Amino acid sequence: MRCLDPGPRLAAAACSVAIAVLVLDACSFDATGIGPGISGPLPDAAADGLLMMEARTEGQIVDASIDSDLLRPPTDGPAADQLLPDLTPSSDQLPLDAPRPDTDGDGVPDVSDNCPTKANTGQADVDGDKVGDACDNCPKLANMGQTDLDSDALGDACDSDMDDDSLPNDIDPNPDSKDTVHYYKAPLGTAMGDFTFEGPWSAGSGGALCHTSTATSYDWTRLESSELSATDYLVQTRFTFVSHSTSGGWPAAGLAFRNKSIDPPSNYICVVDTENRRVVLGRFNSGDWNEYAASSSGSVSNAVAYTVRAIAEGNSLTCQVVGGPSVTYSSSLHDSGTVGLFTYEVNACFDYLFVTAAP
């Protein structure tokens, strides 16, 4: 088999044009203007816009016409830029004996250093998140993304208050958005000086604030008005149920809000009926009780602890068990007042109390 050199003209064109090659059993190419068998001068053929090529194989002649414009390398534009690609090697393509960048000078090249800006020759990575302990913002808990919402140098994965609003993530209504916090105390039994009390209340185990009786009486705590001046707010508490009595009606424990007075009581309450397992929103007005709204019986799970949340915003009132049912009502009867705790025939311990701006 004999194949003639296509010559320098075609070789140059191959830099910018990909030409499909027909594989033949045997080949002997003659091109117009190239090599033996020239049938006409190359300039004339090029002027016609065609380059004629013949392929002979076993007595057959195949003619192929190629637009000669395709054979002219581009002189500008993106295609011209591609003629000479940037062959500068990256750091991981350097010759084996070439020095690698090592920003922190710890002897480990940046390309393989799990903490390239802080020296850590040992490359320790306890949590296995590919970020070296020397610069990991949460070194004992995997967090490859290294997110840090409040920019306190403690990664969100191990930051108990990642939005830095003083409310722990596990009780924060908006753990990834900073709330305006008007009041927060936990454990609540350490803040007894912040309240006025009606009934038997005391600091219990673990510092909780406990109501210690199941007597048939309305018992309250009321946060001093000096502690809270806002009229629109969200208030939340969590209580652990100990026992109750049903001798005087349905037992309840939860929150009082827009609390103007506790003797006689004038406020709204948001409570769990621990006998019928429902959430109840109602009001006292100079001692008179009126139930506004309640979820169906059995709608609240039978639990040991309940988290109760109330929201007052203008005339709009919301009462809910977090993770459970919610009820709403509109009332203009009490347009201001502080917050507190409420019990009726229930022995219960309250862990914390906080108040934030209404959502």
What would the pLDDT profile of 56-70 be if each residue is shown by its tens digit?
444 454 444 445 455
Given a cut of 60, whether residue 248 has pLDDT beyond it is yes
Query: 236 Cβ partners below 8 Å, 6+ apart?
Result: 171, 173, 255, 307, 308, 309, 310, 322, 353, 354
User: Given pLDDT bands bounded at 50, 70 and 90, which one contains residue 73?
Assistant: low
Pick the range with the lowest mean pLDDT from 90-104, 148-162, 271-285, 341-355: 90-104
Percent of the chain with pLDDT strictly greater than 90: 69
User: Given pLDDT bands bounded at 50, 70 and 90, which one contains residue 100?
Assistant: confident
pLDDT confidence of residue 29: 43
Find out whether the peptide bond into 264 is cis, omega within 30 degrees of 0.
yes
Cα separation, 224 vs 205, in Å, equals 24
User: Given pLDDT bands bounded at 50, 70 and 90, which one contains residue 26?
Assistant: very low
Cα separation, 110 vs 64, in Å, equals 54
Neighbours of 76 (CB within 10 A): 7
- pLDDT single digits (tens) 117-138: 999 999 999 999 999 999 999 9
Cα separation, 269 vs 342, in Å, equals 7
Neighbours of 86 (CB within 10 A): 6
Given a cut of 80, whether residue 349 has pLDDT beyond it is yes
- pLDDT single digits (tens) 179-208: 999 999 999 999 999 999 999 999 998 999
Query: 5 Cβ partners below 8 Å, 6+ apart?
Result: 35
* Mean pLDDT computed over 103-118: 92
Provide the mean pLDDT of the chain: 83
Handedness of CA 254, 255, 261, 267 (dihedral sign): negative
Domains of the chain: 7-77 (no CATH), 94-146 (4.10.1080.10), 188-357 (2.60.120.560)
pLDDT confidence of residue 176: 94
pLDDT confidence of residue 4: 42
Tell the burial category of 291 from Cβ atoms under 10 Å away from its Cβ (0-12, 13-18, 19+). exposed
pLDDT confidence of residue 58: 46
User: Given pLDDT bands bounded at 50, 70 and 90, which one contains residue 99?
Assistant: confident
Find out whether the peptide bond into 187 is cis, omega within 30 degrees of 0.
yes
pLDDT confidence of residue 75: 60
CA dihedral 30, 31, 33, 38 (to 10 degrees): 30
Residue 68 backbone phi and psi in degrees, to 5: -65, -20
Given a cut of 50, whether residue 35 has pLDDT beyond it is no
Output the six-digit token pair for 313. Answer: 């915003």
pLDDT confidence of residue 87: 57
Pick the range with the lowest mean pLDDT from 34-43, 96-105, 132-141, 341-350: 34-43
* Mean pLDDT computed over 250-276: 96
* Mean pLDDT computed over 90-113: 80
pLDDT confidence of residue 98: 72
pLDDT confidence of residue 307: 98
Cα separation, 228 vs 194, in Å, equals 10
pLDDT confidence of residue 88: 59
Given a cut of 60, whether residue 52 has pLDDT beyond it is no
Given a cut of 60, whether residue 329 has pLDDT beyond it is yes
